[in-house]
Structure 1
């Protein structure tokens, strides 16, 4: 295998008769409980060569039911190789349910020819693959797509100019906007960039090579994220330079021409392809999924939304039985004319917190009344608005010893809900805590804050987090967000800060907590305090951040 930054030499095509898949159905099913019964035995044709838009060979594996019959086809295009987990979870399991499954390595990865270039070739190569499918004797003209993360992005790219055969899509923990994967308000998602760079560079080489790369990144993470300057420091951890990652880090502005065409918004325009969307409450790409759901609904496109108690990775691990069942029901309904497995409501979401349970809803987000919570000088949250706009309290953020990130919507194994008590004991973290609840409070929808804040350097960030404090004092993160500040000491900035959408119930005896700090490192690249670009900064200046009394936390509370 080769790096996605170099031309990849394709493996020779295998023209032998169909074989059994590399993993047995019994091994695959032993991993998960509750999967639907097998309908067919699965066959496998590995190493087929499909010409890309420019003629580069795209190496492709074909899984299929080993039965006579007329079966629809699923297209799965991946930059992460064609082995685990794509072979068992998509190739074998869906073939056993009565689908031809094409698992293909994207250009420049997994033995496919050409050079991988983040997002730019996926639409053309997807259409070229559909052209190849039309020539296959087993293709019946009915096509669906399925896959997670970047494998969802290639689906949206194909739907920019959808071929007539495309009848349904399933996007799991899906990527929709590459800019938003790497940046928020001009702030680099540092840890995510390193994780994505490692996956794109090594995962298609096989599970052993990928495992070694992940361990190398973990060992060198501290040195990388504390480097001055930051740019270029990751090359040693990834094994070599990755030009596309350098470019991503060098273009933090969403309006930069570099990002033109990156988000395939045309995939949401009528007539639209019926699309099922799946995410988790702590998925790093949950915001992508919620925005995509809204666009599809506004366009009148048939769509369904499943939101589980998952992170980006756990959705495909412990959440796989639910994710697979949802995906299979959608594909059968739209490719096989069998709607029997569909839910009666378009939205199913897991409510976290007290009395955690699934909720079936007619829409998302709901539109409950927004309740405002205001901070007080003594660290409380109250429903009483302030009488002035004076500075309330302040803290010192030191980029040389930055406030660490803890849990939340990450791509790494540290994602999810975590006890924030130790984090909140730091001098550079403010907390404002509401009274003990005598009735449960259910938050359903987008959480946000409007923060009035000033800094002594004119630069800084503000990280805002909603937490649930239980009767024992454990503070668990629910949702959060970050914004970049441009202020003066005399004139505070008034920042409206989206903190993501959530579904969470604060139980009786619990308290609502608002946490405010100057960053979350290495989730976000630290602010140097000087105005210098973060990836090029060689000098750090401590920042005094003052929060003003007219700040407010806004919660969409269900009656």
Structure 2
């Protein structure tokens, strides 16, 4: 999960002189010592501090430390518990918040604040895993952390991170744990603590936004692995944070995968995606304003900066532009119901009759994942045609649009379904179909049906008994061009992105695989996709 942070900092680091840090062993409340590099400016302090703590080796901060010193900051880089030169058990994010009496983020910030070279103001910086550690630290209410710069992270490990809609994220999680060489039992902890248990509540800040003291910049991408989490964190800080945080947040959402600040995502290249208006993504500008009090205009910038995507390669197509807004959602929208019918059509007109379609979900023969919210396998918008002829993917397509249509926000899938199995999953995907037939995924939602009444308890399905569920697709901002079609997928598997449900009514990864025969009910009061369509300006 470190690639986005590398993209953000490579240009900075590559041109900087190198400073030698002083290395300390900062002691945590349980006696564990964490290796901590301190880069001090020349002259007399004290100074504000920029603090980076993540599991990717503190030595990566060398170039950043040199530049921070030139700009009048102390820079502190720390190996998290169990990583590289730090002591402790090598488990990801286990001690970064306040779980099991381990408050490493809080204790480290407190250690910094007590040093003679610190003026009492700390800003935290980092991307991906380095943003997750920031979120967990902010939830402890540490009073000296007054500014944060967070790129593609998540405030919760269970919700929309390790799991999506209660479905384990196979490729992202398993591959990342192997690449980073955490202890093997980390995977057991993450799969056996199911569903949303106290284990996970201790490792998220969803219920602790009121303790957050920091002004923050939250940077995410429409195709990032943490797209929904980034938006949720921004809203949590902005509307539920303490006075130090509430109303003092910035959100940047671009057409990016986890490798932010690029113009290419998946199979598409988005014009101007690297040129963000107002430089609200600039960490130096942010910390100069929030830690040094410089009047550089960034604090007065609009709260939301976002990129509205459009058709690629079509002259005059609307979209593919940056916009700003005072809040999220950024535009006025009207909910428009896209109804699904048994002839595999989708239309905004309410159908007069009810129908149903059935498909088989086989966990041994899952639908392959193509693009989407991924880290270690191909990500972003990719042509979905290879899976659209499978019998286990229900596909519904509109007629060509007569006028462009902007969808900004979260679409909601309302699905009425029954199954002969005690559990199954639903994956709903919205695609943009070009006139030449290419079908690009734009946004997606997923849900394990046994968690339909909440993420903390399972209710098994009764054979043949329909249930109605709502699935929130992850956010987007997209203008579907004239002549394009909207397409909706409904399936129960998407592998390797999501671990197939064994559909046997037992805990995950136990018991035999079972084939499920699923039926989706269609018609006026059955299944539809609710689209947040922007009103005409």
Give 1:30-41 correspondences, 5 Å limit: 32=11
- Determine the structure 2 residue equivalent to 1:546: 519
- C-alpha change, 1:36 and 1:179, in structure 2 (3 Å) is closer
- Determine the structure 2 residue equivalent to 1:333: 289
- Determine the structure 2 residue equivalent to 1:112: 86
Instruction: State the secondary structure of the residue aligned to 2:296.
Output: helix
Q: Could you tell me how far 1:389 is from its partner in structure 2?
A: 4.0
CA offsets 1:509-532 (integer angstroms, 9 cap, x no match)? 111111111111121111223223
- C-alpha change, 1:87 and 1:419, in structure 2 (3 Å) is farther
- Determine the structure 1 residue equivalent to 2:137: 158
Instruction: State the secondary structure of the residue aligned to 1:151.
Output: helix
> Does 2:322 correspond to 1:374?
no
- 2:421–2:503 contact (8 Å) kept in structure 1: yes
Q: Could you tell me how far 1:252 is from its partner in structure 2?
A: 2.3
The 2-side partners of 1:132 and 1:76 are apart by 14
> Does 2:52 correspond to 1:76?
yes
Instruction: State the secondary structure of the residue aligned to 1:340.
Output: coil
> Does 2:331 correspond to 1:357?
no
- Determine the structure 2 residue equivalent to 1:385: 350
- C-alpha change, 1:174 and 1:535, in structure 2 (3 Å) is same
- Determine the structure 2 residue equivalent to 1:414: 378
- 2:212–2:237 contact (8 Å) kept in structure 1: no
- 1:148–1:174 contact (8 Å) kept in structure 2: yes
* Match 1:281 to one of 210, 213, 222: 222
Q: Could you tell me how far 1:555 is from its partner in structure 2?
A: 0.7
* Match 1:147 to one of 111, 118, 126: 126
The 2-side partners of 1:145 and 1:371 are apart by 41
- 1:469–1:510 contact (8 Å) kept in structure 2: yes
CA offsets 1:308-329 (integer angstroms, 9 cap, x no match)? 1111234589888868843232
- Two-structure CA RMSD over aligned residues (Å): 2.9
- 2:176–2:376 contact (8 Å) kept in structure 1: no
Instruction: State the secondary structure of the residue aligned to 1:168.
Output: strand
- C-alpha change, 1:158 and 1:540, in structure 2 (3 Å) is closer
Instruction: State the secondary structure of the residue aligned to 2:104.
Output: helix
- Determine the structure 1 residue equivalent to 2:31: 55
- Determine the structure 2 residue equivalent to 1:193: 173
Give 1:467-506 correspondences, 5 Å limit: 467-485=431-449, 486-488=460-462, 490-506=464-480
> Does 2:290 correspond to 1:310?
no
CA offsets 1:426-475 (integer angstroms, 9 cap, x no match)? 22212111111121100010111001112233432111000000111100
Q: Could you tell me how far 1:173 is from its partner in structure 2?
A: 0.6
* Match 2:389 to one of 406, 421, 425: 425
The 2-side partners of 1:341 and 1:131 are apart by 30
Instruction: State the secondary structure of the residue aligned to 1:541.
Output: coil
Q: Give the structure-2-normalised TM-score.
A: 0.83
Stretches of structure 1 that go unaligned for 5 or more consecutive residues are 1-26, 203-240
* Match 1:290 to one of 222, 231, 234: 231
Instruction: State the secondary structure of the residue aligned to 1:275.
Output: strand
CA offsets 1:75-125 (integer angstroms, 9 cap, x no match)? 1111222244x444x444544444221110011111201113443422422
- C-alpha change, 1:321 and 1:199, in structure 2 (3 Å) is farther
- C-alpha change, 1:45 and 1:450, in structure 2 (3 Å) is same
The 1-side partners of 2:13 and 2:464 are apart by 63
- 1:42–1:64 contact (8 Å) kept in structure 2: no
The 2-side partners of 1:335 and 1:456 are apart by 59
- Determine the structure 1 residue equivalent to 2:456: none
The 2-side partners of 1:115 and 1:177 are apart by 21
CA offsets 1:481-512 (integer angstroms, 9 cap, x no match)? 11123544532121101111111110111111
- C-alpha change, 1:533 and 1:134, in structure 2 (3 Å) is closer
The 2-side partners of 1:326 and 1:383 are apart by 42
Q: Give the structure-1-normalised TM-score.
A: 0.80
- 2:68–2:75 contact (8 Å) kept in structure 1: yes
- 2:262–2:274 contact (8 Å) kept in structure 1: yes
Q: Could you tell me how far 1:396 is from its partner in structure 2?
A: 1.9
- Determine the structure 2 residue equivalent to 1:245: 187
- Determine the structure 2 residue equivalent to 1:257: 198
Aligned residue pairs, count: 487
Q: Could you tell me how far 1:141 is from its partner in structure 2?
A: 2.3
Stretches of structure 2 that go unaligned for 5 or more consecutive residues are 1-5, 98-102, 241-245, 265-272, 312-318, 450-459
